[in-house]
Amino acid sequence: MKIQVINPNTSQDMTHSIDASAKNIASVLTEIVTVCPKKGVESIEGHYDEAISAIGVLDLVQQGRSDAVDAHIIACFGDPALHAAREVADAPVIGIAEAAFHVASLIATKFTIVTTLSRTKIIAEHLLHEYGFAHKCAKIRCIDLPVLALEQDANATYERLKESCLQAKTQDGIGAIVLGCGGMSKMVNQLSEEIGIPIIDGVGAAIKLAEALIGLGVKTSKWGDYAYPTIK
Q: Minimum distance from CB of 130 to ligand 2AL (Å)?
A: 16
The pair phi, psi for residue 68, each rounded to 5°, is 60, 40
Q: Nearer Cβ to ligand 2AL, position 181 or 214?
A: 181
User: Phi/psi zone of residue 78: left (φ > 0), alpha (ψ -120 to 50 degrees), beta?
Assistant: alpha
Helix-helix angle 96-107:202-216, to 10 degrees: 90
Residues that bind ligand 2AL (CB under 6 A): 9, 43-45, 76-78, 115-116, 120, 147, 180-183
Q: Minimum distance from CB of 147 to ligand 2AL (Å)?
A: 4
Q: Minimum distance from CB of 87 to ligand 2AL (Å)?
A: 22
Q: Nearer Cβ to ligand 2AL, position 119 or 222?
A: 119
C-alpha–C-alpha distance, residues 180 and 151, integer Å: 15
Q: Nearer Cβ to ligand 2AL, position 74 or 108?
A: 74
CB 5 within 8 A of CB 33: yes
Cα–Cα distances (Å) from 74 to 18, 46, 82, 168, in that order, read: 11, 16, 7, 26
Q: Nearer Cβ to ligand 2AL, position 19 or 45?
A: 45
Q: Minimum distance from CB of 69 to ligand 2AL (Å)?
A: 21
Q: Minimum distance from CB of 168 to ligand 2AL (Å)?
A: 16
Q: Nearer Cβ to ligand 2AL, position 46 or 175?
A: 46
Which of 40, 54, 52, 43 minimizes the C-alpha distance to 14? 43
